């Protein structure tokens, strides 16, 4: 971990040194998760020390503030789709094990596109469920959830915003059944019907947000309403003298790109260095969604600054659930290029643009201010990490946990783990089937500098050196057959160990071989 100076940061929490060094056995923990935020959709750099053109498009002063306070992770990853990431966060399982490999919504309803070539396996489209439901709900995975363990260890657990880890009408659709004491506006829907209080947040639609009825008809954005409710619940926990776990899970910055009038005007027509033109209406609204999310982070930081006794004992983690939307029919510029530059692809893609995320951690008395860490982390690692941060040492889980805690890396910056990352998506995302750009059914492994992608439909293996080629433009598979063989074998062994499901060929009915050809 190295010191990094961000010259544009102008403020941070002011905590006296005598207080700053004190920590409780059970600190408060805030998990701040953003929906569909690309790794460069911020004025904080997560690629190298220089701001990219995309960084310069956005204004996120509170992310800058948090970066000044703690540590930025430049090698943070999630699944390429929302529900798999959220199920991994809640369970500590890799997607190949929990099998909620695509997004969920309705009971017993698959969300995959159809194909003339491959038939998809029976994945767990009903999502994760409480461990008490084992064997009772088809196509689901029963787990001992992260908030359940925290609640059992004295935490007041607060869910605020998007849930999206269980199908509608199942127990897992309601965060209360998944270990939360409080549920603010979380349900089966993976997007808001509307961000606008004047439209009752999509009341009556399939994606209506419920639980914020007190704001109906008001001129308020859902990001603001959620933040107000979260702050209220934090304050309640403080008055109860109980440590709290706040899962601040924003619907932003997912579609629809409703107009957050507080911020959008500053972006309309603004000249963009990367696009070489003014921002269009979609990009202006998108940038405003990002800045509205950033204000939410700032409101939480302001609360902590005004309450130093709370701040001294509150950990804050920031993460996104998948890559930013990379398709041209919504965003401006060349599809799968401009939206997550310099990474290739976007949400749903196996390429870096689909899985690489902005991540920060502030842990009072542990993380050093304004530092950068290149430790590789994936979403299931948050489960054991948060439990370790919480001081929870003895716990049992219904499921096998794949995640590896990175708490020791935060405590001892010189520590590094050789983390091999695995992705498994034997599905067809509904918005694109562009195999060339990494969509469609795939599995992938990243080890060292190399990223191997296996496309199930074609059995193609592509290899990229992501250290030298973050844009993944140069396929090295033909030039490095031994490396392809090595990584294909390791990926296949990992999937076999978890009995990972595989697509089959419609023409023959045969299950498609693993990446190693077996």
Whether 55 is in a domain gets the answer yes
Q: For residue 253, what are its two tokens? A: 């910055």
From 417, 440, 467, give the residue that closes a domain: 417
Q: For residue 149, what are its two tokens? A: 């363990």
Residues 438 and 350 in one domain: no
DSSP per-residue codes, 218-269:
SS-BHHHHHHHHHHHHHHHHHHTT--EEEEEE--TTSSP----TTTGGGTTT
d(CA 46, CA 64): 11
Phi-psi region of 438 (alpha: psi -120 to 50; beta: other; left: phi over 0): left
Mean pLDDT of 297-309: 98
From 398, 417, 436, give the residue that closes a domain: 417
Residues 355 and 315 in one domain: yes
Residues 309 and 440 in one domain: no
d(CA 160, CA 216): 17
Q: What is the pLDDT of residues 382-425, one digit of tens each?
A: 999 999 999 999 999 999 999 999 999 999 988 889 999 999 99
Residues 391 and 470 in one domain: no
From 417, 439, 474, give the residue that closes a domain: 417
420, with CB counted inside 10 A (0-12, 13-18, 19+), is middle
Closest listed residue to residue 222, CA positions, set 259, 275, 170, 189: 259
Tally of CB atoms within 10 A around 419: 17
Could you tell me the CATH number of the domain that includes residue 454? 3.30.1120.10
Residues 213 and 330 in one domain: yes
What DSSP designation does 148 have? Answer: H
Residues 226 and 140 in one domain: yes
Q: What is the pLDDT of residues 163-196, one digit of tens each?
A: 999 999 999 999 999 999 999 999 999 999 999 9
Whether 124 is in a domain gets the answer yes
Portion of the chain with pLDDT greater than 90, in percent: 93
SS3 content of the chain, % helix, strand, coil (to 5): 30, 20, 55
| Residues 6+ away with beta carbon under 8 Å from 367 | 69, 70, 71, 361, 410
Whether 513 is in a domain gets the answer no
Residues 456 and 307 in one domain: no
Return the residue matching tokens 């209406």: 281
Q: What is the pLDDT of residues 117-157, one digit of tens each?
A: 999 999 999 999 999 999 999 999 999 999 999 999 999 99
Q: What is the pLDDT of residues 8-37, one digit of tens each?
A: 333 344 443 333 333 468 999 999 999 999
| Structure confidence at residue 25 (pLDDT) | 82
- What secondary structure, in 3-state letters, does 334-374 show? CCCCCCCCCCCCCCCCCCHHHHEEEEEEECCCCCCCCEEEC
Could you tell me the CATH number of the domain that includes residue 174? 3.40.720.10
Listed in sequence order, the DSSP H helices in 95-186 are 95-98, 146-152
Residues 454 and 412 in one domain: no
Whether 516 is in a domain gets the answer no
Whether 1 is in a domain gets the answer no
| Structure confidence at residue 1 (pLDDT) | 54
**CB 260, CB 267: distance < 8 Å:** no
Which domain range does residue 271 map to? 21-417
**Model pTM above 0.85:** yes
Portion of the chain with pLDDT greater than 70, in percent: 95
Whether 7 is in a domain gets the answer no
Q: Which residues pair with 272 in a beta bridge?
A: 277
Beta strands in 20-131 (DSSP E): 28-34, 71-77, 118-119, 128-130
Q: Is 282 helix (H, G, I), strand (E, B) or coil?
A: helix
Peptide bond into 253 cis (omega under 30): yes
Whether 239 is in a domain gets the answer yes
Residues 371 and 482 in one domain: no
Query: Is pLDDT of 505 > 90?
Result: yes
Angle of CA points 138, 178, 310, to nearest 5°: 160
Mean pLDDT of 81-96: 98
| Residues 6+ away with beta carbon under 8 Å from 158 | 180, 181, 182, 184, 230, 233, 234, 237, 244, 245, 246, 247
**Residues written for the chain:** 518
DSSP per-residue codes, 124-143:
-TTBEEEGGGTTTSSS-EEE
The domain total for the chain is 2
Closest listed residue to residue 60, CA positions, set 369, 413, 329, 301: 301
| Structure confidence at residue 479 (pLDDT) | 98
| Structure confidence at residue 4 (pLDDT) | 46
Whether 8 is in a domain gets the answer no
Residues 313 and 394 in one domain: yes
| Structure confidence at residue 385 (pLDDT) | 98
Residues 58 and 150 in one domain: yes
Residues 430 and 352 in one domain: no
| Structure confidence at residue 215 (pLDDT) | 98
Pair type for strands 28-34 and 244-249: parallel
68 alpha carbon, distance to own chain's centre: 22
Q: Terminal CA-to-CA distance of the chain, rounded, Å?
A: 41
């Amino acid at each position: 971990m190295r010191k990094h100076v961000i010259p544009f940061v102008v403020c941070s929490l002011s905590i006296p040194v005598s207080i700053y060094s004190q920590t409780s056995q059970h600190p408060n923990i805030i998990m701040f998760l953003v929906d569909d935020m690309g790794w460069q959709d911020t004025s904080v750099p997560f690629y190298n020390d220089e701001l990219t053109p995309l960084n310069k498009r956005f204004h996120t002063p509170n992310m800058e503030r948090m970066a000044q306070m703690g540590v930025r992770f430049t090698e943070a990853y999630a699944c390429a789709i929302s529900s798999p990431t959220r199920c991994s966060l809640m369970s500590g399982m890799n997607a190949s094990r929990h099998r909620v490999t695509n997004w969920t919504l309705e009971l017993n309803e698959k969300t995959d596109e159809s194909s003339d070539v491959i038939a998809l396996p029976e994945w767990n489209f009903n999502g994760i469920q409480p461990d008490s439901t084992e064997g009772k709900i088809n196509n689901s995975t029963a787990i001992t959830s992260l908030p359940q363990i925290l609640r059992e260890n004295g935490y007041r657990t607060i869910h605020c915003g998007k849930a999206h880890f269980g199908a509608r009408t199942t127990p897992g659709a309601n965060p209360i059944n998944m270990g939360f004491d409080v549920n603010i506006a979380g349900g089966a829907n993976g997007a808001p019907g509307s961000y606008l209080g004047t439209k009752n947040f999509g009341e009556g639609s399939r994606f209506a947000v419920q639980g914020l009825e007190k704001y109906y008809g008001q001129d308020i954005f859902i990001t603001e309403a959620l933040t107000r409710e979260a702050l209220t619940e934090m304050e309640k926990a403080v008055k109860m003298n109980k440590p709290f776990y706040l899962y601040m899970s924003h619907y932003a910055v997912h579609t629809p790109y409703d107009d957050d009038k507080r911020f959008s005007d500053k972006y309309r027509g603004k000249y963009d260095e990367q696009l070489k033109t003014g921002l269009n209406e979609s990009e202006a609204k998108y940038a405003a969604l990002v800045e509205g999310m950033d204000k939410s982070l700032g409101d939480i930081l302001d609360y902590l600054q005004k309450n130093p006794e709370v701040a001294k004992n509150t950990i804050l983690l920031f993460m996104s659930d998948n890559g930013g939307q990379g398709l041209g029919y919504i965003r401006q510029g060349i599809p799968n290029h401009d939206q997550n530059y310099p990474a290739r692809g976007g949400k749903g893609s196996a390429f870096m643009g689909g899985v690489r995320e902005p991540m920060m951690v502030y842990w009072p008395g542990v993380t050093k201010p304004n530092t950068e860490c290149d430790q590789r982390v994936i979403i299931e690692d948050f489960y054991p990490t948060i439990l370790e941060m919480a001081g929870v040492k003895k716990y049992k889980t219904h499921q096998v946990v794949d995640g590896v805690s990175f708490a020791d890396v935060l405590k001892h910056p010189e520590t590094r783990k050789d983390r091999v990352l695995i992705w498994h998506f034997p599905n067809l995302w509904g918005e694109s089937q562009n195999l060339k750009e990494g969509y469609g059914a795939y599995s992938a492994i990243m080890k060292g500098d190399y990223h191997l992608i296996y496309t199930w439909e074609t059995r193609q293996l592509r290899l990229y050196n992501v250290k030298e080629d973050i844009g993944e433009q140069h396929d090295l598979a033909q030039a490095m057959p031994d490396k392809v063989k090595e990584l294909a074998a390791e990926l296949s062994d990992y999937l076999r160990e978890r009995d990972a499901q595989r697509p089959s060929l419609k023409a023959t009915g045969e299950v498609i071989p693993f990446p190693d050809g077996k």
